[in-house]
């Protein structure tokens, strides 16, 4: 298991139950939309997302869970569209609940994954 330490959070490999929790707890921010609103989320889709992560892990992306020190998963962060030859990628992230946003968790997670 991968575990990267930040100051506020730690990053670790996502397990199937973590993906289900992220999928079920993600709140959409209607006041500051940053992604497409998805209607009809189901645990089946969470399983498919986990399987997709496993297939692409280390090939086209590196995706890890964002966890609070008490081991609560609050989101995920990924180096996406990996181009190993040209040493480039994009950074993607998501936090589940609105209450976790704006507290520096993603900044801390980004520093940890890029380190």
Least confident of 3-17, 24-38, 58-72, 88-102: 24-38
Task: Find the length of the chain.
Answer: 115
DSSP string computed for 3-51: EEE-SS-EEEPPPHHHHHHHHHHPPP-SSS--S----S--HHHHHHHHH
pLDDT digits 0-9 by tens, 78-88: 999 999 999 99
In this prediction, residue 39 carries a pLDDT of 58
pLDDT-derived band at 26, boundaries 50, 70, 90: confident
68: CATH: 3.40.630.30
Judge contact between 73 and 67, C-beta under 8 A.
Answer: yes
pLDDT at 36 over 70: no
Q: pTM here?
A: 0.90
Residue 75 sits in which domain range? 3-114
Angle among Cα 24, 27, 31 to the nearest 5 degrees reads 165
Residue 52 has pLDDT above 70, yes or no: yes
- The domain total for the chain is 1
Strand partners, 93: 77
């Amino acid at each position: 298991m991968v575990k990267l330490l930040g100051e506020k959070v730690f990053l670790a490999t996502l397990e199937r139950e973590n993906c289900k929790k992220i999928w079920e707890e993600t709140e959409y921010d209607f006041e500051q939309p940053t992604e497409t609103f998805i209607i009809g989320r189901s645990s089946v889709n969470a399983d498919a997302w986990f399987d997709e992560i496993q297939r692409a892990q280390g090939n086209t992306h590196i995706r890890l869970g964002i966890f609070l020190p008490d081991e609560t998963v609050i989101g995920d962060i990924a180096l996406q569209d990996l181009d190993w030859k040209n040493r480039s990628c994009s950074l993607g992230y998501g936090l589940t609940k609105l209450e976790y946003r704006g507290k520096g968790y993603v900044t801390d997670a980004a520093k940890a994954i890029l380190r």
